[in-house]
C-alpha cells in the first residue's frame, strides 16, 4: 500500500499527478467541496461570532469515505487542492472531517501548492509542504458567510415584495445594476443627425478616400453639418471650387510603435475568448480547466497551461527563459527585445501571488499537439500560446502618413490617411481583439507617394448621413471587463455571476448582448432604492478589498462581519414593514384611466410589465406597455399565501365574478 496519500479536487488532476509521483503515492479526488453550510436559516449565527454549521455534501460523502479508508493505511497526507482561497477551504474542510474521525493521529500532514501540473512543479511542491493558511481559510469563510447572510435575508424579502423564486446576492445584484443602468441609458438616448463630406480621389492609377476637415477656413466638428440641405450646399460649393482636382498642401509622416498586450489573466482570457472564439465565460473556464488538469499527448499526460484562476500578469523566470528561447528559434533573435518585458496589472483588487495564464512549455506548439486535443481545447490553447509568446516579442513599427489637399480655396481641406506596417514584431503572432469595434484600425491602407504641390484628380464628393448611436449593450466580454474595472467579484466568480443572472431570468441574451427582463428591472429598482449601499459599486469593491486584507492576515474576519451585518439586518427589518408590494411592483404614471379617471400605473404581472388602473380590483382596465390589446394580468393578494403550496394568492375573474 502507498505510504503517502495526496488529495486533489478532480479525478483528471489525480490521474495526471499519479503518473508523476509513482507507486509510493496514492492520489485521490475530493470531487470539489466536501462540506457546505446547512441549506437553511441559522447556518451562520451572528449572535455567536458568526459560527457556521456545516454538513457533508451528499454527493461527495462516498469520496470522503474513500479518502478516510486510504488514509488509515498511509503515513503522510498531502492536501494538494487548488492554490487559492477555495482550494485552501477544501483542504481545511477535509482536514476537519478527518480529524473528527480521529484519523490524523501520528500522521504527517502537509498542504502543498503548485500553479502548473508538470512533473517538476509537483515534485517541488511535495518536497516543500506547508501548514494550512488560517488567513486564507478565514477569508473564504467570511466570503461564504457574507453571501449566505445576504442571500438568506434579501431573497425572502424579494419573494414577499415581488414574487417567489427570486434572489439577491452581494455580487450578482451590482452586476444586474450595471446591465439595467446601461439599458436605461440606451432608452434615454436621443439620436442626433450629422453629416460628413467624403471625397473619392485618384493619383496615377490608385484611388483612395479623403474626408473634409476644414470648410471655409473653419475646422469641422461632428455637428458642423446637420442636415441634407446644408450637406448638398457644401457639396456644390466644393465641386465648383475644386473644378475636378485637389492640390496637396501638406504631407505629414510619422512612425508609431505598438506594444503587445500582457499575458492572460482569468478576466482577459474570458474577454478575448468571447471576442475571438465566441466562447461564454463558463465554456472558457471549463476548457481551461481541462488544459490545466492534463491532456494525454503521445502516451504521456501533460498539464498544458498554468492555473487558470488568477489576476496576475507576472511570468516566472524559467517560463521567460523558455519563451525567449522559443522566439529566438522560431521567429529569429531580431524579434526579441534586449530584456524580458515586465507587466503590471491594472485590475482593482489584484493579487499577485500567482502567475499569469501561460503554456507550461512554450515548446508545446499548438499545431504539433492539435491531434491530441478537442476542437475547443485547441482553439483556447492556441489563443493562450499566441498571447504568451507575443507578450515577449518586440513592438510593431507602423508608418503613418496624413495628406492634406485643398479644394480651390486653402480654407477647404480634405485629409487622406494611410499606414504601412514596417515591422510587424509581435503582430506576426497575435493581435488583441476589441469590444464594439468596427475593426480595421491596424489594417494597412496604402496611399500613393505624394508631395506638396501635387495635383490629384477629384472623382466625386459624397455627403454621408450619420446618426449618433447609444452606448452598446454589454456583451459577455464587456461585462467581464466592467466587473473587473469596478472591482466587483473575483476572477473566479465572473462566470457564475453571469449564469446566475440568466438562470434567475433577470437578463436575456439578444445577439450576444444582455438585456434586462421586466423582473430584472423591478428587482434592480427595489434594491437600488431600498438597499442603495449594498448595490453600490464602490461598497462592493471595498468589501472585496477588505476580504483580501483578511486573506493576507491584515484584518480580522469577525469584526469585518459585524461591521457588515449590524446595519444590514436593521435595514432588512425596516423594509419588511415599511415597503409594500404595491410600492415595488407599481410605477405611477401621469395618465388617467379612460374607464374611471383614477391614475394609471406600470405594474408587474406574471408575463412582464403592463399598464393597469390603480383602482383595481374596482376597475379592471389594463393595456400592454405598447398600447396594444389588454393583457389578462391577475392581482396578487397582499400578505396572503396559498395554504397548500405557499405561493402568493391571486384574484381571478370567473363566470360569476372575481374570486381568490
Catalytic residues: 307
The residue assigned the cell 454621408 is: 464
Which three three-digit cell numbers place residue 45?
A: 449565527
On whether the CB atoms of residues 340 and 398 are closer than 8 A, the answer is no
**Strands 4-8, 25-29: parallel, antiparallel or unpaired by DSSP?**
parallel
Residue 617: cis peptide before it, omega within 30 degrees of 0 = yes
Q: Which residues contact 417 (CB under 8 A, 6 or more apart)?
A: 400, 401, 402, 403, 445, 447
Q: What does the alpha-carbon distance between residue 406 and residue 585 come to, in Å, rounded to a whole number? A: 62
210 three-class SS: strand
Torsion of CA 103, 108, 113, 114, to 10 degrees: -110
Task: Quote the strand ranges of 190-265, DSSP E.
Answer: 193-203, 206-215, 218-219, 245-258
Q: Tell me how far apart the alpha carbons of residues 297 and 43 are, in angstroms, rounded to a whole number.
A: 46
Helices (H), ranges, 101-243: 119-127, 134-161, 172-188, 228-242
Phi and psi, residue 266, nearest 5°: -55, -45
Taking only Cα atoms into account, the Rg of the chain, rounded to an integer number of angstroms, comes to: 31
Cβ atoms of 525 and 159 within 8 Å: the answer is no
Contact criterion met (CB below 8 Å) for 117 and 16: yes
Closest by CA position to 463, among listed 241, 236, 246: 236
Buried b (16+ CB within 10 A) or exposed e, 152-173: bbbebbbbbbbbeebbbbbbbb
Angle at 504 between CA 500 and CA 509, to 5 degrees: 80
Cα 70–chain centre separation: 40
C-alpha cell at position 130: 506547508
Number of residues that make up the chain: 660
Calculate ∠ Cα 575-578-581, nearest 5°. Answer: 85
- C-alpha 127/C-alpha 125 separation (Å) is 5
Start-end of H helices in 294-393: 317-331, 375-390
Contact between 133 and 548 (Cβ < 8 Å): no
Q: Is 494 helix (H, G, I), strand (E, B) or coil?
A: helix
Peptide bond into 111 cis (omega under 30): no
* Residue 649: DSSP 8-state: E
How would DSSP label each residue in 82-118?
-SSHHHHHHHHHHHHHHHHTT--TT-EEEE---SS-S
Residue 301 pairs with which residues in a beta bridge? 296
Q: Report how far apart, in Å, the C-alpha atoms of 53 and of each of 102, 143, 256, 412 are.
A: 20, 15, 60, 77
Amino acid at each position: 500500500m502507498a505510504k503517502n496519500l495526496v488529495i486533489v479536487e478532480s479525478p483528471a488532476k489525480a490521474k495526471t499527478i499519479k503518473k508523476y509521483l509513482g507507486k509510493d503515492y496514492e492520489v485521490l479526488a475530493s470531487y470539489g467541496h466536501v462540506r457546505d453550510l446547512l441549506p437553511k436559516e441559522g447556518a451562520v449565527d451572528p449572535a455567536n461570532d458568526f459560527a457556521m454549521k456545516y454538513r457533508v455534501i451528499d454527493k461527495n460523502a462516498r469520496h470522503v469515505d474513500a479518502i478516510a479508508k486510504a488514509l488509515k493505511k498511509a503515513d503522510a497526507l498531502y492536501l494538494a487542492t487548488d492554490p487559492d482561497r477555495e482550494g485552501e477551504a477544501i483542504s481545511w474542510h477535509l482536514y476537519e472531517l478527518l480529524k473528527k474521525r480521529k484519523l490524523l493521529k501520528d500522521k504527517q500532514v502537509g498542504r502543498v501548492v503548485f500553479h502548473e501540473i508538470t512533473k517538476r512543479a509537483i515534485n517541488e511542491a511535495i518536497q516543500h509542504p506547508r501548514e494550512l493558511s488560517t488567513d486564507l481559510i478565514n477569508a473564504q469563510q467570511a466570503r461564504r458567510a457574507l453571501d449566505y447572510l445576504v442571500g438568506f435575508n434579501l431573497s425572502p424579502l424579494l419573494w414577499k415584495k415581488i414574487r417567489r423564486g427570486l434572489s439577491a446576492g452581494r455580487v450578482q445584484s451590482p452586476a444586474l445594476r450595471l446591465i439595467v443602468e446601461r439599458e436605461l441609458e440606451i432608452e434615454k438616448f436621443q439620436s442626433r443627425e450629422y453629416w460628413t463630406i467624403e471625397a473619392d480621389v485618384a493619383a496615377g492609377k490608385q484611388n483612395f478616400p479623403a474626408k473634409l476637415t476644414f470648410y471655409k477656413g473653419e475646422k469641422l466638428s461632428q455637428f458642423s453639418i446637420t442636415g441634407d440641405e446644408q450637406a448638398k450646399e457644401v457639396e456644390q460649393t466644393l465641386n465648383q471650387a475644386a473644378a475636378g482636382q485637389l492640390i496637396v498642401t501638406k504631407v505629414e509622416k510619422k512612425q508609431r510603435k505598438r506594444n503587445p498586450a500582457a499575458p492572460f489573466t482569468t478576466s482577459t482570457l474570458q474577454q478575448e475568448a468571447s471576442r475571438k472564439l465566441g466562447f461564454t465565460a463558463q465554456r472558457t473556464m471549463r476548457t481551461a480547466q481541462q488544459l490545466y488538469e492534463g491532456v494525454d499527448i503521445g502516451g504521456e499526460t501533460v498539464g498544458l497551461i498554468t492555473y487558470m484562476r488568477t489576476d496576475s500578469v507576472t511570468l516566472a523566470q524559467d517560463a521567460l527563459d523558455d519563451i525567449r528561447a522559443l522566439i529566438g528559434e522560431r521567429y529569429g533573435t531580431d524579434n526579441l527585445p534586449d530584456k524580458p518585458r515586465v507587466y503590471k496589472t491594472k485590475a482593482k483588487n489584484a493579487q499577485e501571488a500567482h502567475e499569469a495564464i501561460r503554456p507550461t512549455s512554450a515548446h508545446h506548439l499548438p499545431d504539433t499537439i492539435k491531434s491530441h486535443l478537442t476542437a475547443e481545447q485547441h482553439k483556447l490553447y492556441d489563443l493562450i500560446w499566441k498571447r504568451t509568446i507575443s507578450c515577449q516579442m518586440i513592438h510593431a513599427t507602423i508608418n503613418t502618413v496624413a495628406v492634406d489637399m485643398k479644394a480651390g480655396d486653402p480654407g477647404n481641406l480634405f485629409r487622406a490617411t494611410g499606414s504601412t506596417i514596417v515591422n510587424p514584431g509581435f503582430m506576426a503572432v497575435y493581435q488583441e481583439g476589441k469590444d464594439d469595434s468596427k475593426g480595421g484600425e491596424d489594417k494597412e491602407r496604402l496611399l500613393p507617394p505624394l508631395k506638396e504641390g501635387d495635383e490629384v484628380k477629384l472623382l466625386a464628393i459624397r455627403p454621408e448621413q450619420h446618426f449618433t448611436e447609444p452606448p452598446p449593450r454589454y456583451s459577455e466580454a464587456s461585462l467581464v471587463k466592467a466587473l473587473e474595472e469596478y472591482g466587483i467579484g473575483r476572477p473566479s466568480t465572473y462566470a457564475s455571476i453571469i449564469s446566475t443572472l440568466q438562470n434567475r431570468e433577470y437578463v436575456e441574451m439578444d445577439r450576444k448582448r444582455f438585456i434586462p427582463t421586466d423582473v430584472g428591472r423591478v428587482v434592480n429598482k427595489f434594491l437600488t432604492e431600498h438597499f442603495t449601499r449594498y448595490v453600490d459599486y464602490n461598497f462592493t469593491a471595498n468589501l472585496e478589498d477588505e476580504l483580501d486584507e483578511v486573506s493576507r492576515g491584515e484584518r480580522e474576519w469577525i469584526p469585518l462581519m459585524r461591521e457588515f451585518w449590524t446595519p444590514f439586518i436593521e435595514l432588512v427589518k425596516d423594509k419588511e414593514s415599511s415597503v409594500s408590494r404595491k410600492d415595488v411592483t407599481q410605477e405611477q404614471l401621469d395618465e388617467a384611466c379612460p374607464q374611471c379617471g383614477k391614475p394609471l400605473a406600470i405594474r408587474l404581472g406574471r408575463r412582464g410589465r403592463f399598464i393597469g388602473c390603480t383602482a383595481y380590483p374596482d376597475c379592471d382596465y389594463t393595456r400592454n406597455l405598447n398600447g396594444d390589446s389588454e393583457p389578462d394580468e391577475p392581482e396578487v393578494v397582499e400578505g396572503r399565501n396559498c395554504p397548500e403550496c405557499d405561493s402568493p394568492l391571486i384574484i381571478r375573474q370567473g363566470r360569476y365574478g372575481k374570486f381568490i
